Structure formats: C-alpha cells, structure tokens
Amino acid sequence: KMFTENDVRDWSGLWLVPAGIAALILLVFLVAFKEKQNRN
C-alpha cells in the first residue's frame, strides 16, 4: 500500500500529493492570468 509503514498511514507523505497539485494549479493561474504591462 502507498503511504503506509507498518500498516500505519503516513499522513505527511499523503498530504504532499494534493499540496503539490494545488501548487501546480496556482502556478498555472499565475502564468495564465498575468497582467500585461504597457510600455509607453
């Protein structure tokens, strides 16, 4: 089983997966919705 050690769940390892996904989504949003600067 994943994220288990001696039949005990390793919650710190388990929470890294959704945290990584959330960080990736945040990065995509920051790049996609970045305001374009006008240089006059």
pTM above 0.85, yes or no: no
Tens of pLDDT, residues 1-40: 677 777 777 777 778 889 999 999 999 999 998 877 777 6
Which residues, in sequence order, are CB contacts of 9 under 8 Å at separation 6+? 3
Q: Which residues pair with 9 in a beta bridge?
A: 4
Radius of gyration for the chain, computed over Cα atoms and rounded to the nearest angstrom: 18
Asked if 13 contacts 3 with a C-beta cutoff of 8 angstroms, the reply is yes
